Structure 1
Amino acid sequence: MTAYDDLMAFQRETEALAQIAGRLSWDQETMMPPGAAVQRAEEMAAIETVLHARRTDPRLGEWLAAAEPADAVAEAQLREIRRSYDRQTKVPARLAAEIARITSLAQGIWAEARANEDWEAFAPTLQTIVRLAREEGAAMADGGDPYAALLAGYEPGTSPEEIAALFDALRPGLVSLREAILGTEITPPALDREFPEEAQIALSREVAQAFGYNFAHGRIDKAVHPFSSGSGLDVRITTRTAPHDPFNCVYSTIHEVGHATYEQAVSRDYLLTPLGQGASMGVHESQSRIYENQLGRSAPFTAWLFGRMQAAFGGFGVEDAEAFYALVNRVEPGFIRTEADEVHYNLHIMMRFDLERALIAGDLAVADLPDAWNARFLADFGKAVDRPSNGCLQDVHWSVGLFGYFPTYTLGNIYAGALYAALREACPDLDTGLARGDTGAATAWLRENLQQHGALRTPAETIRAATGQAPQVGPLLGYLGEKFGALYRL
């Protein structure tokens, strides 16, 4: 066997163990009894210790030095393994295990604090997590910017400065569109009745199938914060329900199906290798957001969904498909990021990006986070935060140590804007299928041009290969302006 063969055999075992660790996390959020949290934290720390030892094994360095790639796929495998090895060898095993243990415990602490509206119950845990994240970032940065090092774990090849520049280019257009919409007298009515949970879950399964989710290799469960987990042959999603808001369930499901079908579509040739997953979290978000928004909230698809809603719930106070489309795309400032309309959503992300950069830099203390959050939210959204679950306790990300993750949501929207423009050009009859609840033309194009390739290309190369251009904010702003300009008669 060659050095490359030995390396890939070792790596496949590491990838398999990482999938097991992911399944433990999935179980913790869906099935695990609450009394098991302390033991699960130790289990997560133990498996992270094993994974860290494998990811920093000196033999990796030897194999990487000796391996001779035979083709572009092998070159990409080596690129991804080398990137991980370079990062992981800078992080002490003790620190990796401690982060795994604390963030496993923190999920339950966060969920309870959120349910009880008790920021003080979560603050000490978050302070520990921020301290550990700073230490991890500093170790990987090797004298550079710790936040940049953390960000690179989710979006390789992108710097905080580049993201800030994209956000600066995007914000004026969003604010202008927001002000124009809120300045009109058009206000789609809100739903005002209860929607049974069982019917919501049944509808979510139907919608998931409409977007090509393969239940032979997946399942839907409930969680406090919806997520997708796994890759290859076992990709699971979660959703949530709200008695008065079935859209929460439907669109959370569509969003997570975007993530999951990406993973399910990656070439089986890459199974249990570094290429057998999404290219980055930004590229991942491009799939979830284009499924949820450009496709799932389009006029033709919502016309089909209106009929399925009627079948599931009977009459629910919406006159026709046109009114339903306006309701689904209602623009209104709200506290919750995951429930935000397309115009406001990225403003939520920009706020979190600035706050977490300040936390990691040490410019913002954890104790001061609620005040900083509330002041920024009031300035950006014109509303005063009324309780912690509508403020800095609403998202799970910081409790599990995902610093650097938030900006990839807006990167995903920017990528999705470019992908949608290319998709519409390639599939001029797209709306005909969507009106029947048939997303096949769109999902086939995305599978062919992006999803099947996994992490073969870098994130920027992935988007350029699919769209023919580098990521830029113009297509997203153009899409939003055209859609909401028509809806609100601007």
Structure 2
Amino acid sequence: MNPFEELMAYQRDTEALAAIAGRLGWDQETMMPRGAAEQRGEEMAAIESVLHARRIDPRVGDWLSLINEEKLDDADRAKLRLIRRSHTRASKIPARLASELARVTSVSQGVWAEARRSEDFDGFAPTLSRVLDLKREEAAALANGGDLYDALLDDYEPGMTGAELDRLFSALRPRLVALREAVLGANHQPDPISGHFDEAVQMHLSREMAEAFGYDFSRGRIDKAVHPFSSGSGSDVRITTRTVESEPFNCIYSTIHEVGHASYEQGIDPAYALTPLGQGVSLGVHESQSRIYENQLGRSRGFTSYLYDRMKALYGDLNIRDADAFYGTVNRVSPGFIRTEADEVHYNLHILLRFDLERALVSGKLEAADLPDAWNQRFEADFGVKIDRPSRGCLQDVHWSVGLFGYFPTYTLGNVYAGCLLKALMQDIPDLDAQLEAGDTTAATGWLRQNLQQHGGLREPRATIAHACGCEPGEGPLLDYLEAKFAALYRL
């Protein structure tokens, strides 16, 4: 084999091992017995040691130096770009640190889940402090004297910086806050849904929603987890959801959200499987898929009409009189505690809070033990509501317990990207709402697969969105969409 072929064969095994590690993570949150947490931590540390050694293997650098990229096509050059980036980053991290991070964050996840159940932040604080110390050490190794937060952010959104996000969020905040105040002060307020919604029926409807949005069950499955997530790529892409018998939208929209992630992975060109291109290019682009599935499509006037009929068929009469009122109920704006249940107006304000707090944690301006007070004060200032228990505050999200510092801002970045994608999609599919009213998402999801999903990691994140939209992404389309939608809903 020539150097390129040798590198690709080597990388294929690395990608396969990484997929096995991901499956262990899926099992930990769905099937693993609680008593296995310590052993699973050791297992995750062991496989991460193997992966880290493969990523920094000197042969990777040798192969990269021997390959003549002029003879390669765009896809093969993109593979080299991603391998080179991974090799460079991994080479900066000591093997001991990589292994310890995998072990500690695996165990920490269980500690977080128990603390969340028992409303005990103090019991979780020492573990979070240990995770934070390790992430600061990792950031310092990667940053090489630069900004620590930027070094971690680059793992989730390559090329993005905290300063650029700060500028973006500063542009979003005034119009979001103004819209929030106008909506909450409106005379017309949609009714909330009420009643008892059987868990088994919710899971049945969850499967229906997944199928309606094109999820391929021959290459996936739905399970339950404390915190919904999607896992895997290629021919094995799994999702989870959760149920609350008084809140059916929790399950429905968690499922549609995760189907957006999963559809991205299932939609990537099969030729890219077990290569660096065979995964979503960044978490911001990934979130653009989950958010456009969940919100712009799933909460649209057309699709909620279809959903209303399905819920009546399964549950009987609802407390909502008709499809128009149901559209308002699904999109009802309320300053709730939980990010994953937040309406579209409040959602990004949840992310801005987390972005500011995690930057402070990484920089050392805020310590783990001080997080509840900082969170609670900021939440009351932003939402006008006092946090009454940790599971509604800083213990609600799994991210920091597993070391995902730098992940949160990609949610809002994904919303921004989704706004741009919707604008382009509607230009190409002018009768979109009529199709969605029939429960038919194929034109919309097909457009996303054709213009974005199939390309995987071929292009850099912003270039991926620009290619799909035909223009550079910005916050304008998202804000215009939100203001038009909620002005009509709330009769402003």
Q: Normalising TM by the smaller chain, what interval?
A: over 0.9
Q: For structure 1, which runs of at least 5 residues remain unmatched after alignment?
A: none
**1:208 is aligned with what amino acid?**
A
Aligned ranges 1:94-113 → 2 under 5 Å = 94-113=96-115
2:441 to 439, 443, 468: 439
The residue aligned with 2:8 is 8
State yes or no: 1:48 paired with 2:58: no
The residue aligned with 1:17 is 17
The residue aligned with 1:150 is 152
Give the CA deviation at 1:188: 1.5
Give the CA deviation at 1:279: 1.0
Task: Tell me the distance in 1 between the aligned counterparts of 2:175 and 2:258.
Answer: 27
Task: Tell me the distance in 1 between the aligned counterparts of 2:39 and 2:367.
Answer: 30
Aligned ranges 1:60-139 → 2 under 5 Å = 60-69=60-69, 70-139=72-141
TM-score (norm 2): 0.99
**1:402 is aligned with what amino acid?**
L
TM-score (norm 1): 0.99
The residue aligned with 1:27 is 27
The residue aligned with 2:425 is 423
- Aligned residues: CA RMSD: 0.6
Aligned ranges 1:119-198 → 2 under 5 Å = 119-198=121-200
Secondary structure of the equivalent of 1:235?
strand
The residue aligned with 2:230 is 228
Task: Tell me the distance in 1 between the aligned counterparts of 2:68 and 2:459.
Answer: 19
Task: Tell me the distance in 2 between the aligned counterparts of 1:207 and 1:297.
Answer: 12
The residue aligned with 1:461 is 463
Task: Tell me the distance in 2 between the aligned counterparts of 1:2 and 1:73.
Answer: 17
Output one character per residue of 1:34-67: Cα deviation in whole Å (capped at 9) or x when no partner.
1111110000000000000001101011111111
1:328 to 308, 316, 330: 330
Secondary structure of the equivalent of 2:434?
helix
**1:51 is aligned with what amino acid?**
L
Secondary structure of the equivalent of 2:438?
coil
Identity %: 67
Output one character per residue of 1:279-301: Cα deviation in whole Å (capped at 9) or x when no partner.
10000000000000000000010
**1:428 is aligned with what amino acid?**
P
Secondary structure of the equivalent of 1:457?
coil
Secondary structure of the equivalent of 1:338?
helix
Q: After the TM superposition, which of the residue ranges 281-290 and 304-313 deviates more from structure 2?
A: 304-313
Output one character per residue of 1:419-473: Cα deviation in whole Å (capped at 9) or x when no partner.
0000000111111210110000100100000000000000010011011121211
Task: Tell me the distance in 2 between the aligned counterparts of 1:406 and 1:4.
Answer: 36
Output one character per residue of 1:252-292: Cα deviation in whole Å (capped at 9) or x when no partner.
00000000000000001100000001010000000000000
Secondary structure of the equivalent of 1:323?
helix
Task: Tell me the distance in 1 between the aligned counterparts of 2:194 and 2:485.
Answer: 26
Task: Tell me the distance in 1 between the aligned counterparts of 2:121 and 2:84.
Answer: 40
Task: Tell me the distance in 2 between the aligned counterparts of 1:164 and 1:469.
Answer: 22
Task: Tell me the distance in 2 between the aligned counterparts of 1:415 and 1:312.
Answer: 35
**2:412 is aligned with what amino acid?**
T
Give the CA deviation at 1:311: 1.2
Task: Tell me the distance in 1 between the aligned counterparts of 2:350 and 2:392.
Answer: 12
**1:199 is aligned with what amino acid?**
V
Give the CA deviation at 1:313: 1.0
The residue aligned with 2:369 is 367
Task: Tell me the distance in 1 between the aligned counterparts of 2:94 and 2:108.
Answer: 21
Secondary structure of the equivalent of 2:335?
coil
Aligned ranges 1:335-414 → 2 under 5 Å = 335-414=337-416
Give the CA deviation at 1:316: 2.1
Q: For structure 2, which runs of at least 5 residues remain unmatched after alignment?
A: none
Task: Tell me the distance in 1 between the aligned counterparts of 2:129 and 2:188.
Answer: 44
Secondary structure of the equivalent of 1:129?
helix
The residue aligned with 2:313 is 311
